[in-house]
Amino acid sequence: MADANEDPTIFTAHSLPSDPRLWATVTNAYLGTRSFLHTLEDSSFRAAQCIYAHRTLPHVLAFSVSLSRLAAGGGPITVLLQAAFSPESPDLDLHLGPDFQGARYLYGHTLTPEQPGGAQQEVHMLWTPVPPALTLGEAEEDRTWEFLAVVGSSQAEAQACLTEALRLQAGGTLYTAHAQAWAQLWAGCGLDVAGPLALRQALRGALYYLLSALPQPGIPGYICHGLSPGGLSNGSREECYWGHVFWDQDLWMFPNVLMFHPEAARALLEYRIRTLAGALDNARNLGYQGAKFAWESAGSGLEVCPEDIYGTQEIHINGAVVLAFQLYYHSTQDLQLFQEAGGWDVVHAVAEFWCSRVEWSPGEEKYHLRGVMPPDEYHSGVNNSVYTNVLVQNSLRFAAALARDLGQPVPERWLVVADKIKVPFDLKHNFHPEFDGYEPGEEVKQADVVLLGYPVPFSLSPRVRRKNLEIYEAVTSPQGPAMTWSMFAVGWMELKDPRRAWGLLEKSFANITEPFKVWTENADRSGAVNFLTGMGGFLQAVLFGFTGLRITRTGVPFDPMCPAGVSGVCISGISYQGNMLDFSFCEDSVTIEIRDCAGPWAPPLEVELWPSQARLPLPPGHKVSFPRSAGRIQRSLPQEAEAASCSPRTFC
């Protein structure tokens, strides 16, 4: 297509958005701001300013100003600077302290603790002062000045980070280290299509913003604080949910992170492990056993949602948390996380919660889950949310399977509840009602029942899958959050309806703003900005919807399909059990290549084609192509493992 030759990494506009919320977010996993590269130029000089959140030093924000002489000769060139920094904050109690290595120092704490009577988080900031003007000397052709801001949770941490940044700055490598880290990250993963430029740019922008929110691989001692729907907290609940962590992290963002960045995926799971104590307290406070993860979680894992109804009723978050652990386990086989680092404790505690939360119905001879709120927040206090109950089944069955793998006992009650929990189904209309008593035609807020099948593993006949999509598409609010339509698109791709899939995916573009592809939670520009959850759903629609890729216990099935307007897909850097894969397809063929292995422990892989069941070895470093069909990437059997080290094989 004509658009395929355009560069999807370049976003251009004649002017910046009048609403600064829609400027590009510049973040790492710890610090961020909204800003841009700005250049001024006349006949004699060019001045450029740039701000970046350092990729390998997550406690550092760097700001640079560069002056370049454009005309030969001439005298000194002076540029005036305006610095609007103020040490006052509505959220922090700050005080000036002694300078450190030429940097100014502020210290203090948050004004509001996470929990009443709890500790107030310490804040320590060092920054290099900005002069009123910069001058390019008469004999100089160009020069760059760099200014630093460092934030830490202790004075020692802030000082150590500044010292390291100054060391890199003195060697002229501060920006180089940042740029190289980003180049390394992009070299390791990618997602592109042969299709409209707007789609390609939207994918690139979403992947950039999601990667920006994650820790750089290999940063020693970094602790991940989770992913919030609007990214880092910036002082406005309406725009960022105060940085709290919801199910958005586990269901909407995590699958993308896992496919490209398993180390960061583990860091997100470690956040849930660190907050397990708070989840145990949440369950006890509600009168149940096990763990109930907070609807809004912060540092401790205790519920911090300001409205009790969500914290007590949206218990489906537990199922999303366990699903993330399940996908990670199948994708990485990282037994250490479950045996030694607390992963098993999370899965076990959620299983215990479910078994204490259900109630037996003698009349139906089924377990019921009463008084819940499903993802559709227009309905509260309902019984037997089909989405929630299916997640209960999934959590308990995974807990049992994991227990067997780890040599742990399997409580019989887990399997009994999984087998006997009610999964509402309307035989007359051949669809899944959202909950007991739901009537077709009732408006719903967002994707709910349509999440069954994907991302929630649940077997559905094509007829029922279609009926669920048709019924809920007609009644889903157009004012709902951005991630919804992506999941409808995935459903229609499963049913091989490319026209309808593209039509639903196109609805997501109403939430993408120009020119920086910043997402808003709602199409009317309200809600969280920059909305990582919407990006997560959008990326999944391509990464898992176009390709049919799924992460399962037995491998990674695929069933590629190009929606209307797209003729090919290329994904680089898929991680599966220590192997790094490239997966691409066009209208008539599929190509898979293992381009790297993490070590000798990474198992050799093969691809099994369906329906022929032909098995093709995937030798590292060689492309294997075959006519487009469904299949599964899986561990090789012993004889195929030996063949994988032989010469390349191509099948057309």
Residues known to be catalytic: 377
> Is residue 123 packed enough to be buried (19+ CB in 10 Å), middle (13-18) or exposed (0-12)?
buried
Question: Which token pair is 292?
Answer: 């109930």
Per-residue exposure over 71-81, b if at least 16 CB sit within 10 Å of its own CB, e if not = eeeeeebeeee
Q: Answer yes or no: are the C-beta atoms of 405 and 392 closer than 8 Å.
A: no
> Is residue 625 packed enough to be buried (19+ CB in 10 Å), middle (13-18) or exposed (0-12)?
middle
State how far the Cα of 126 lies from the Cα of 544, in Å rounded to an integer. Answer: 43
Contacts from 192-195 at CB under 8 Å and sequence distance 24+? 192/8, 192/569, 192/570, 193/542, 193/546, 193/566, 193/568, 193/569, 193/570, 194/1, 194/4, 194/566, 194/567, 194/568, 194/569, 194/570, 194/586, 195/1, 195/3, 195/4, 195/565, 195/566, 195/567, 195/568
Q: What count of other Cβ atoms lies within 10 Å of the Cβ of residue 40? A: 10
Q: Answer yes or no: are the C-beta atoms of 529 and 607 closer than 8 Å.
A: no
Tokens 């899944």 identify what position? 432
Task: For the chain, state the CA radius of gyration.
Answer: 26
State how far the Cα of 324 lies from the Cα of 398, in Å rounded to an integer. Answer: 11
Kind and range of the H or E run holding 359 = strand 359-361
Q: Residue 61: helix, strand or coil by DSSP?
A: strand
State how far the Cα of 358 lies from the Cα of 384, in Å rounded to an integer. Answer: 10
The residues, any chain, with a CB within 8 Å of residue 566's CB and separated by 6 or more, are: 193, 194, 195, 196, 199, 502, 546
State how far the Cα of 176 lies from the Cα of 191, in Å rounded to an integer. Answer: 25
> Is residue 455 packed enough to be buried (19+ CB in 10 Å), middle (13-18) or exposed (0-12)?
buried
Pairing of strands 589-597, 579-586: antiparallel
State how far the Cα of 574 lies from the Cα of 561, in Å rounded to an integer. Answer: 18
State how far the Cα of 534 lies from the Cα of 482, in Å rounded to an integer. Answer: 5
State how far the Cα of 420 lies from the Cα of 367, in Å rounded to an integer. Answer: 6
Residues 339, 283, 222, 268: is their CA dihedral positive or negative? positive
Q: Answer yes or no: are the C-beta atoms of 143 and 86 closer than 8 Å.
A: no
Q: Answer yes or no: are the C-beta atoms of 162 and 152 closer than 8 Å.
A: no
- What's the CA angle centered on 154, arms 150 and 158, to 5 degrees? 25
Q: What count of other Cβ atoms lies within 10 Å of the Cβ of residue 556? A: 24
State how far the Cα of 318 lies from the Cα of 348, in Å rounded to an integer. Answer: 11
Q: Answer yes or no: are the C-beta atoms of 490 and 541 closer than 8 Å.
A: yes
Going by C-alpha positions, the residue among 532, 565, 525 that lies closest to residue 546 is 565
